[in-house]
Structure formats: structure tokens, C-alpha cells
Structure 1
Amino acid sequence: MKKMISLIVGILLLSSLPFYLHVSHKTTDPSPKEGQRLDVHKLESIVNLASSGDKPGVNDVKAPSFTLKALDGSYHTIGGKRDKPVVIHFWASWCEACSVEVATLRKLYGQYKNQVDFLGINVSTEEKPENIEKFVKQNNLTYPILLDEHKHAADLYQLHALPTVFLIDKDGFVLDTFHMVDPLELEEKIRHLAESS
């Protein structure tokens, strides 16, 4: 009889395992429908579009949707229509090139914050919170810093190097993407983004 009860309990536990796994991996964070990953082959079309100066068409690349928590505890969503275009800067505190690029982004944020949203995304799977906060403080960053703790956004955006910047228009199309560029070129790209809004 004891063996029969143990067998029934075992079957019940095993049959409830998928439900437990489903519930335990649900999040209570606010999260709209997540977007599809960027097609890596379309990244080339994004760069070509940016260099031609054309506007995106119906077959061009929509920015993948995601929601991340910021350092201040608020949540920010990327994807879909917005009031302003957005600059997304993927970075890490240990990345020297990120430190160089962020100085120009800070300056451009001061110039264009009324026309363009700026979001820094720390790819923080291997970062200590104190290093992130130190980087933000040392670089006097006042735009929102989002924490990509599980590389979810990095994966959606097919991130392969740091720093990486994405420029996204008000309709949610990716207009340009690039790694470390000359400060004057970066300024020109963001000026163009601001004027397109």
C-alpha cells in the first residue's frame, strides 16, 4: 500500500512539474508583447539605408520590442510608435571604447534631449552593480540607464560588440546602427535623427 501511495504521489509531482516551471518563470514586471530578433541579414540593409539618407519603407526593419528596468527602478519600453525618436547605446563599464563614446553622447543628450530620447543599456550579466553606478557617476550620465541583466535586449538586437548604438525613428524603424564612430559623425547622425522628428 505504501508503494502505491508513493507511486501516486510521484506521478502527481511529475505531472505538476511543467505547471510549476511555467509559473515560476513568469514575471510580474510590466512587459508588452516582446518583439522578434533583428534579422542579422537586415542589419546590412539598415546601414545601407542610413548611408543613402532614404526613409524606411514597409519592408524595412522594425525595432524589436522589450521592456527593461532602469537604475532608478522605473521601466522603459522600446518598440512601436513613440513621441520622439530614440538613441539606444549598449555599453559595459569595463569597455574602454564605451567610456570614450559616452562623453559625446552626454554632450548630444544636452543638446537634443527635447527632440530625441536617449537610453543607455548596460549589458550587465557580468557587471557588479557598484561598477555600473560608478561608471554612470564618473561620466555624469543623466539619461535613463537600463539594465539588460540577462542579455535579453542584446540578443534581440543581435549585439556582437560594445559599444553599439541604434537610432530608431518615431514609428519604431531602425534607421542606423554602428559601433564606435568619430564624434563629429555621431553628432551629425543624431542631428539628422532630431531633424527627422
Structure 2
Amino acid sequence: MKRNLYILLGVIVLIGIALYQNAGPGIQAAFQHEKPMPTETGPEAGLLAPAFTAQGLDGKEYHVGGTRDKAILLNFWASWCEPCKQEAPELNAIAEKYKDSLAVYGVNVTKYDTKKNAQKFVDKYGVQFPVMFDLKADIYEKQYKGVVFPTNVLIDKRGVVQEIVLGILPQKDLEKKVKKLINS
């Protein structure tokens, strides 16, 4: 009799632990396998881009979020990042070619860099688009859940994330994505 009671208590404890770990948006989530569990991976395609305002190297404030006249290519980078160095000329070319329908914003994740090195990078690669500082990585880590440099977030005119590109792509592939973004 005692043995059955211990087994029953053990099962109840295990069920309680399982429910607690999967409770997320509600206890029902533990039993709904057809819907993926929500994760903390940051913005997703089809959802609104997290809004923020940051100061640029030029002293101006730039805002991301909400409806706009142009789509946005949001580029998170650091000056020491080799792929970021490779991508800089390509982003300049895209920013120039699509300037009437696309805003390219660079976000230097200054927590992992310095303002001085960011400025040297901008000067060396002739960055023509606005560059902002994310001093404490609040935008990159907390809002966009960044994990790799560079990260490009493609946001349409309605403020909806259309795609997140981790790492670099050949310019022609990135340009295809930009064309699709502008036409969405």
C-alpha cells in the first residue's frame, strides 16, 4: 500500500515539474504539440520589428519601427568582424542603388567594440549610410536577440520583419532579397 502511495506521489511530482517547465503562455501549451512553443529567439519574419531610437555618428537620431516611406535593411556589425569588413562595400552599393526605396542603417554593437574603432571602420570602408551606436547592446541583445555578426534584418514599409540574414551572402543574393523586400 505504501509503495503505491510513493509511486503515485512520484508521478504527481513529475507531472507538476513537466507542467511548470512548459507552462510558458499557459498550462495548455504543454498539451498542444501542433503549435511550436514560443522561444526567446528575437524578432521573426511576419512580426513587427522591435522599435528603437539611437544616435548616429552624424549626431542625428534614427528611429526604427512602425510604418515608413521606405523599407529598412538593418545591419548589426562590429569593426573587428571580418565578414562585416567584406560586406561593407556591398552594403554601400545597395544603399546607393536603392536609396529611393530602401533605408540602410548600420548598428555598431559598441558593447563589443569602441566608438573610436567604429569610426575608423566607417572611414576606411567609406560607409555612406547612417551608422548608430548600440552602446550597451540593448538593441542587439535584448530587442533583436542577436547572436552573430553581421546580422541583417529586412523590414518592410509597414514595419514588419520580412527576413533575418545571419552572416554574409554574396551581393547578388542579398540584392535579390532587397528587391523582394522593396516590392513587398
Q: TM-score, normalised by structure 2?
A: 0.74
State yes or no: 1:40 paired with 2:41.
yes
**Cα offset for 1:194?**
2.3
Bigger radius of gyration among the two: 2
Aligned residue in 1 for 2:153: 166
Q: How many residues align?
A: 144
Aligned residue in 2 for 1:182: 170
**Cα offset for 1:96?**
0.4
Q: Evaluate the alpha carbon distance shift between residue 69 and residue 172 of structure 1 in structure 2; reply closer, same or farther with a 3 A threshold.
A: same
Aligned residue in 2 for 1:62: 48
Q: Which runs of 5+ in 2 are unaligned?
A: 1-38
Give per-residue Cα distances to partners, 1:48-106, cap 9 Å, x unaligned.
xxxxxxxxxxxx31100111110111111111111111000000000000011111111
Could you tell me how far apart the structure 2 residues matched to 1:136 and 1:98 are?
Answer: 11
Could you tell me how far apart the structure 2 residues matched to 1:161 and 1:41 are?
Answer: 13
**Cα offset for 1:195?**
2.7
State yes or no: 1:75 paired with 2:61.
yes
Give per-residue Cα distances to partners, 1:107-140, cap 9 Å, x unaligned.
1111001111110000001322221111001111
After superposition, residues 89-108 of structure 1 pair within 5 angstroms as 89-108=75-94
Could you tell me how far apart the structure 1 residues matched to 2:134 and 2:42 are?
Answer: 24
Could you tell me how far apart the structure 2 residues matched to 1:104 and 1:177 are?
Answer: 17
Identity over aligned residues, as a percent?
33
Q: Evaluate the alpha carbon distance shift between residue 39 and residue 84 of structure 1 in structure 2; reply closer, same or farther with a 3 A threshold.
A: farther
Q: Evaluate the alpha carbon distance shift between residue 91 and residue 41 of structure 1 in structure 2; reply closer, same or farther with a 3 A threshold.
A: closer
Aligned residue in 1 for 2:108: 122
Could you tell me how far apart the structure 2 residues matched to 1:130 and 1:40 are?
Answer: 30
User: In angstroms, what is the RMSD of aligned CA positions?
Assistant: 1.6
1:187 alignment partner AA: E
Could you tell me how far apart the structure 2 residues matched to 1:177 and 1:69 are?
Answer: 23
State yes or no: 1:154 paired with 2:140.
yes
Asked if structure 1 preserves the Cα contact closer than 8 Å seen for 2:42 and 2:145, the reply is: no
